[in-house]
Amino acid sequence: MLDTAERGAYDGEHEAFRTTVRKMFDRHLTPNLERWENEGIVDRTFWREAGAAGLLCPTVPEEYGGPGLDFRYNAVVSEELAYAGSSAGIGLQSDIVADYLVAYGSAEQKARWLPGMVAGDVITAIAMTEPGAGSDLKGVKTVARRDGNHYEVSGSKTYITNGQNADLVVVVAKTDPEKGAKGISLILVEADREGFARGRNLDKIGQHSADTSELFFENVRVPITNCLGEEGQGFAQLMNQLPQERLSIAVMAQARAQRAFDEAVAFTKGRTAFGSTVFEFQNTRFTLADLKTRLQVGWAHLDWALMRHVAGKLTAVEASAAKLWHTETLWTICDAALQLHGGAGYMNEYPIARIWRDARVERIYGGTSEIMKEVVARSI
């Protein structure tokens, strides 16, 4: 269990909410983790259970069915989800897609989609990455051509979280390919539209229970009212929302690192070798001391970043630096924690194996560590 007694970012109401999250996860998440890992997808029933418990989209205003809370409630869910060892895509819905709709959606779009997202009846995805375009969003090839009062969306996307479950996809597409970044728009595509198809549920190194998919669009006709915000403003919208996405990843990385450390402590204290516990060896204790120090620094920094974000002060550079530091630190801690398990760490029956696998992608998605360094370097 995460020790949050001395955290500076949360108050009593946040901690009461955390208790609700833990109870819900104990009942509906933890017993199903292994099955979801094997099946490669999280049941839709879990989404509805999470919605009923108030865990989805905490920042959505009350007029659209949400509780209208601050982002720290999102962070509580993300911390507990990551510490539990789950890769369920509820964070993408709550921390990313919901805020795009709240920030840029029309009153009609908000009223149509947000209540269902809060309830867990509607599952969403955001389709940025393509086979030939990853961190460089200006390079997307998917197009949305105007045809009267409709768009025709054509192209393909890959590595899309919630791709198999999604009822609604926010598609990054070029409405005017001649204008470069200024020709990019965000288009809402319902999954039941003719011409939309899901590819395979991708076989990944880790995060097996997250349905990550290829998506295909073949002249998918949607009304021009499905444009999210103003046409041609998609790139600016993406840049405006990236700080929260990257902070969300940092939150999960920090909690996952804490779980890896806790697993290593428990294992080394219970495992004997050469007449003593593995924990009693100086190398073990010094390694764990180093990891604990990194975690202490990480929690302090994370609370600082959360408070700056809630105050509207967290910059894109600061968020990128947070993602860079926390995900790289996660990998350092996970790898060291697995090493302390010895051969047991390589066995899938031990939680550290899944934590280690799941951790690897956090240095890639949401912008690679190399891109984060570029963002930070440009500010110097």
Catalytic-labelled residue, pool 79, 80, 245, 263: 245
What's the per-residue H, E or C state across the chain?
A: CCCCCCCCCCCHHHHHHHHHHHHHHHHHCHHHHHHHHHHCCCCHHHHHHHHHCCCCCCCCCHHHCCCCCCHHHHHHHHHHHHHHCCCCCHHHHHHHHHHHHHHHCCHHHHHHHHHHHHHCCCCEEEECCECCECCCHHHCCCEEEEECCEEEEEEEEEEEECCCCCCEEEEEEECCHHHHHHHEEEEEEECCCCCEEEEEECCCCCCCCCCEEEEEEEEEEEEHHHECCCCCCHHHHHHHHHHHHHHHHHHHHHHHHHHHHHHHHHHHHHCEECCEEHHHCHHHHHHHHHHHHHHHHHHHHHHHHHHHHHCCCCCHHHHHHHHHHHHHHHHHHHHHHHHHCHHHHHCCCCHHHHHHHHHHHHHCCCCCHHHHHHHHHCCC
Residue 319 token pair: 């968020």
The answer to whether 39 is a known catalytic residue is no
Task: Indicate which residues carry an active-site annotation.
Answer: 245
